[in-house]
Amino acid sequence: MNAAKPAQPNNPLHGITLERLLGELVEYYGWAALGREIDIRCFNVDPSLPSSLKFLRRTPWARQRVEALYLDMLDQARR
């Protein structure tokens, strides 16, 4: 039996890694603006991609906010 996951055509985050998502947000906003948008320590105090990824992987509420901001960024880019 095939255990492959079904396609998710309506999920804009499907296939995008957290690392890519965060990298694009940092490129678009910069760490300072990202820290203002989502006030979490890993964005405001000595920010780095590895430490932020570690925090976001263990903190569902923060990851949800980052994913929502990413979707907003994509929406703005389409306009």
- In terms of Cα–Cα distance, which of 33, 77, 25, 29 is closest to 56? 25
Alpha helices, DSSP H, located in the chain:
18-37, 41-44, 49-58, 60-78
SS3 78: helix
pTM for the structure as a whole: 0.83
CA of 25: how far to CAs of 6, 8, 9, 30, in Å? Answer: 28, 23, 23, 7
Domains and CATH numbers, the chain: 18-78 (1.10.720.30)
Task: Give me the percent of the chain exceeding a pLDDT of 70.
Answer: 90
Q: What is the pLDDT along the chain (79 residues), one digit of tens a residue?
A: 455 666 676 788 888 999 999 999 999 999 999 999 999 999 999 999 999 999 999 999 999 999 999 999 999 888 8
